[in-house]
A and B are shown apart, each in its own frame.
Chain A
Amino acid sequence: MLHSAGIGALTVAVTGTGMLSYRAYDNRVLGADGGAAFDAWRHWRDDAGPRGVLAAAVLAASPHNTQPWLFHLSGDDRIELHADLSRRIGSVDPYACETHVGLGCALENLALAAHARGLEPRITLRPEPGRPSLVAPADLTKATQQHSPLYDAIGYRHTNRGPYRDRPIDTAVLTDLAALADDPRASVIWVTTRAGRDDLGDLMIRAARAVTEDEQQSRENFAWFRGSADAIEKHKDGLTLDGQGLSAVVTSAAKLMPATSRTSGDAFWVKQTRTVHTATATVYGLVLVPDRYDPLHQLTGGRLLERIHLAVTARGLALQHMNQITERIDRDRSQGRDPVFGPPLAALADRAGGDGRQVLAAFRLGHPVRPGRRSPRRPATQVLR
């Protein structure tokens, strides 16, 4: 009797474990980045020709990993970068500022990959004002090969949303990073003081909360969250659990549990912003431009942002983009409301040496506790027209 009760309990436990095992398999608790959605990271150096340039470009950062790009290849000597505006995140990016910053990031990778192949890219930004989707044609001419550590870093640059160590970053490193700005339209300033970081962190937490309380922004953010391995493999874009910077155990537990709802995802993000992102930020960086609504400035700022991210990666440091404040500024502007976050952000930037220029993008820097992880990518062949 006792024996059969024990066997019965064992049978129930094994059935439950079987179901849990299936969930672990289905959600890729092991081998999270082994699928085709991550092939672009494994093969980006395979092609020595212009197609290889595209393979590097698609690994760039983009808002919510929307990858808002399309490419045309004419022969072997011209690549055109086009905007895919259907991938703009609606009310989160009403003026396509972030979309263009992401396109600028892709352009930076493209330029580095061309140089690494002995090609000089002559890039013209938005050459046809009547055709805004044509972002930047690049004419490629033969030149001497330029290999740079920034190019090498393309394959392991990731947005790191995990905790950073309580260790300062050398001022010399920040000076070097700021010196990467090679176009007068875009520059970077640093918020390093305790008071400055506290104020900016506080603004970020309030902006994150405001985004989650705005139902449309919350929904349009959530639309880019890929909560299952199937969704990741199908779309090959968007945000994933693996990209949240959580420890391996917590990530596994989250994958084994039922998929999160939009509201619990929102609450999680606000909590992470408060307890991890802002609490462990060593330094904030602000990319500044004269006019954040000018697409040329957005593209130029995006190139600088990606260059900084690659340089940070090459030094073994971590970076997380944090743009909820500007997302709220654009949202209020698009709704004709009084700007809630604009004046305090402008004041903060001016205190850090902003000199009246506008904040295009914000990020935090630090020594990571754990490495960043790959995000899914559509391969170059899928975005080539």
Chain B
Amino acid sequence: MSRDQAAALAGTAGGLLGVAAGLTAAVWGDRLGAWAGDKQDPTTLGLFTVALSAVALAGALLLLRDRGAGPGWRAAVGAGLLLPGLLGFTTVGRLWWIPGALLVLAAGSTVCVAPRAVGRAVRDRWAGVLTAALGACLVLVAVDASAPLVAVAAVSGGLVAAAPWVARGPRRLATAMLLAGTLPFAALTWWTLVTPAIALLSLTAGFTALRTSGPD
């Protein structure tokens, strides 16, 4: 069995167990206490965990399908396994111990096939990675807000996170995505102080990413 196959297997098992852990927390979280992390709202967090696990599962399946693709792709799949793997520890308590460990293992194994090349790929697109992280911040800030605001934040965060990665297409599209993802939401919620700060940094990081990403 190749390392990628082993990683895909661990990722698939972690993803499936993660879905089960999320569903368990969503349905029985109230009664499970510390096993489900003693959360105020285990239902929402359980469903969020199911979504995280689905992302990891998709990463694992991609790994199985596209074995041997380039380091950029490998870095993306590694992140798709690692981030859900780590985030889950904060959402469903002890239920995540096994799926979390499997996903972290799978991510490590994915990257370890070509660690230097993956490291270089990440370094080359670091401004893009930072922009994507800021997109996630926009969503995080609004998680508890009213439904319309959550929707605006989700679209804004998605636009910001995706902008650096469409740079291969026309620059104007990426620029428009950055502006549309930052300005309206920041204007709508300026009084939070945080969203204007995220917007400002997103524009800085985003334009740096666009400037430094040469044509592939």
State whether B192 touches A10 (Cβ < 8 A). Answer: no
**Which A residues from 283 to 327 make CB contacts under 8 A with B?**
none
State whether B192 touches A252 (Cβ < 8 A). Answer: yes
B193 to chain A, nearest CB (A): 5
| Chain A positions within 8 Å of B145 at CB level | 30-31, 34
A33 to chain B, nearest CB (A): 10
State whether A252 touches B127 (Cβ < 8 A). Answer: no
For B189, the closest partner residue in chain A by CB is: A30
Check A21/B144 contact, CB under 8 A, given A10-B127, A10-B204, A30-B149.
no
In-complex Cβ contact of A14 among B41, B133, B141, B143 (8 A): B133
State whether A17 touches B134 (Cβ < 8 A). Answer: yes
For A228-244 the 0/1 string (1 means CB < 8 A from B) is 01100110000000000
B160 to chain A, nearest CB (A): 12
Q: Is the interface of A mostly helix, strand, loop or mixed?
A: helix
Tally A-B pairs: CB < 8 A. 84
State whether A17 touches B137 (Cβ < 8 A). Answer: yes
**Which B residues from 191 to 216 make CB contacts under 8 A with A?**
191-194, 197-198, 201, 204-205, 208, 212
State whether B192 touches A24 (Cβ < 8 A). Answer: yes
In-complex Cβ contact of B133 among A18, A229, A234 (8 A): A18
Instruction: Report the contact-size class of chain A (Cβ under 8 Å from the partner).
Output: 20 to 34
| Chain A positions within 8 Å of B141 at CB level | 21, 24-25, 29-30
CA distance A230 to B118 in the complex (A): 40
**Which B residues from 109 to 151 make CB contacts under 8 A with A?**
126-127, 130, 133-134, 137-138, 140-146, 149
For A35-49 the 0/1 string (1 means CB < 8 A from B) is 110000000000000
CA distance A13 to B133 in the complex (A): 12
Q: Is B40 an interface residue (CB 8 A)?
A: yes
21 A-B pairs, CB-CB below 8 angstroms?
Answer: A6-B208, A10-B127, A10-B130, A10-B201, A11-B126, A13-B201, A14-B201, A14-B205, A17-B197, A17-B198, A20-B197, A21-B138, A22-B140, A24-B192, A30-B149, A30-B189, A234-B40, A249-B191, A252-B193, A252-B194, A256-B193
Given contacts A7-B126, A20-B197, A229-B144, 6 further A-B contacts (CB under 8 A): A17-B197, A17-B198, A21-B138, A22-B140, A24-B194, A252-B191
Residue numbers of A with Cβ under 8 A of B are 3, 6-7, 10-11, 13-14, 17-18, 20-22, 24-25, 28-31, 34-36, 229-230, 233-234, 247-249, 252-253, 256
